[in-house]
Amino acid sequence: MEVTRARLGSLLEWALAAACALGIAALGSLLIEGLRTPRGIVRVNVEAAEAGMAPAPDPPAAIPPRAVSVPLILLHDGTELRVGERESSISAKLQRPWQTGVDTLERTTAGNRITRAYDDGFRRFMLVFDPPQEAAELRLSAIYLP
């Protein structure tokens, strides 16, 4: 009887040790997964987002068909250009030799839309300036990467 009790007790001890080891491994796995998952990602329902947004305006004729619109661009010298900035601020940040070609002018209902192409030696990009309703100075309305 004593031998059976000893074997049964030993078996229970090993089963309890294995259950504890599995529990610690599961908790460690959850902890590592929580540390590896970035918290800044927000899931977006694309269909719902597109339904609530106004349609994007057509790009100017000077923009190539496969060009990508971006909200900001970081130039090779560290200068940052953002949509919404004034033309005077943009002109101060860009060097004159970077401009390629001439300005393209389009007449819209709001006024004259100007498209300029640039190459800073690292990448080519195109800036679109639209006149705002409240002010006389042009504002950067779009940045395109061809």
Question: 49-62, pLDDT tens digit by residue?
Answer: 555 554 556 788 88
Q: What are phi and psi for residue 23, nearest 5 degrees?
A: -65, -45
Query: How far apart are alpha carbons 74 and 22 in whole angstroms?
Result: 49
Question: 99-146, pLDDT tens digit by residue?
Answer: 998 999 988 887 888 999 999 888 899 999 988 777 678 889 899 998
The answer, yes or no, to whether residue 64 has pLDDT greater than 80, is yes
Sign of dihedral through CA atoms 96, 63, 85, 46? negative
pTM higher than 0.85, yes or no? no
Query: How far apart are alpha carbons 43 and 69 in whole angstroms?
Result: 22
Radius of gyration, CA atoms only, the chain: 30
- The predicted pLDDT at position 100 comes to 92
- The predicted pLDDT at position 2 comes to 59
Query: How far apart are alpha carbons 146 and 139 in whole angstroms?
Result: 21
